[in-house]
Amino acid sequence: MRLFVRVVETGSFSAVARELGTIQPTISKQLSALEEHLGVRLLNRTTRQLSTTEAGRKYYDRCRHILDEITDLEGSLTELQNSPTGLLRVNAPVAFGQLYMLPLVFRFRRLYPGLAIDLTLNDRYVDLVQEGIDVAIRFGELSDSQVVARSVGRVMRVCVASPAYLRARGIPRSPEDLLSHNCITYNYLFTNEWQFGSPKGQTTLRVTGDFRANSALTIRSAALEGIGIANMPSVFVQQDLDNGSLVRVLAEYAPPPVEIHAIYPSARFVAGKVRSFLDFVRDEFLQIPALQVPVDKPKRVPRIRAKVAG
């Protein structure tokens, strides 16, 4: 049943085989044996994709419920000993993962030595259900209705540039000045629309530039190289600001903080190991001032949007 559920969620025999450390023909044979046992076809197979039959969809829904009940039962027994076991799969952005999640995960592992941890760090969008992730750390606004989010912190966003770039191109005095600057954009979370605060309210500015990336570490490197101005969470560049490698600009127009969420699949029962990890993350982040930036009270003024001509 677990194997069938994962095949449906990933849409691939090969993906499940990699998860289980086996080969694709083994998965295919087991699914065929399951169909023979039930006397009904569960999956439509083509050379390009898999899809569930009507019976397969009903069987998947019941299997998902039954497996959650089993997880609940096993978790309740484990919690009696206050020692989560099994495998916990965690995902986080690369830069944040290296700075904060690795030490946190190591401490969590020492608390629960019977728990195996699979930690993946990447800056692409990860489908939690398809890739079997139990908990992921996400920055910014969330639009996925298939996940449950728990706020665990927030960080300040800052505009930064190298001293060399500012000497060559000048220091922007207002957000609108960025229209004549080369801005380094993030093609994953924040796109090319940057938000700022001001006495007049919130401003959204559409910036342009000749360099963009999907990694905070890459954008930081580009800013250090003098390519342009970057807008990113302060936790990734605080050391550079402290030693003068980067300079903060437009500080008086500080944009809204970036929310940090711990998310998990909404369609699944929340196992004890997941609850323990969520609580641990929240408590640990509360001890880090840089991850608990307060939110200013919003001003009741019209929103201002600056546009680039043409």
pLDDT digits (tens, 9 = 90+) for 224-250: 999 999 998 999 998 999 999 999 999
* Range in 24-38, 178-192, 286-300 with the lowest mean pLDDT: 286-300
Higher-scoring residue by pLDDT: 164, 126:
164
Read off the pLDDT of residues 43-94 as tens digits, 9 standing for 90 and up. Answer: 988 777 788 999 999 999 889 888 877 877 776 666 555 567 788 999 999 8
pLDDT for res 198: 73
Q: At residue 199, does pLDDT exceed 90?
A: no
Instruction: Say what angle helices 13-20 and 2-10 make with each other, to 10 degrees.
Output: 130
pLDDT for res 83: 67
- State the chain's mean pLDDT as an integer: 84
DSSP state of 86: E
Using CA atoms, how far residue 35 sits from 53, 70, 152, 250, in Å, is 12, 22, 44, 63
Name all domains of the chain by residue range, CATH numbers in brackets.
2-79 (1.10.10.10), 83-154+258-291 (3.40.190.10), 157-256 (3.40.190.290)
pLDDT for res 81: 55
pLDDT for res 65: 83
**Terminal-to-terminal C-alpha distance of the chain:** 57
Distance CA 125, CA 138 (A): 9
The amino acid present at 73, given as its one-letter code, is L
Predicted model pTM: 0.67
Read off the pLDDT of residues 273-307 as tens digits, 9 standing for 90 and up. Answer: 888 899 999 999 999 888 887 755 433 333 333 33
pLDDT for res 303: 37
List Cβ neighbours of 174 (8 Å cut-off, separation of 6 or more): 250, 253
Q: At residue 310, does pLDDT exceed 80?
A: no
Single out the residue of 87, 109, 106, 88 nearest to residue 98, CA to CA. Answer: 106
Percentage with pLDDT > 70 across the chain: 88
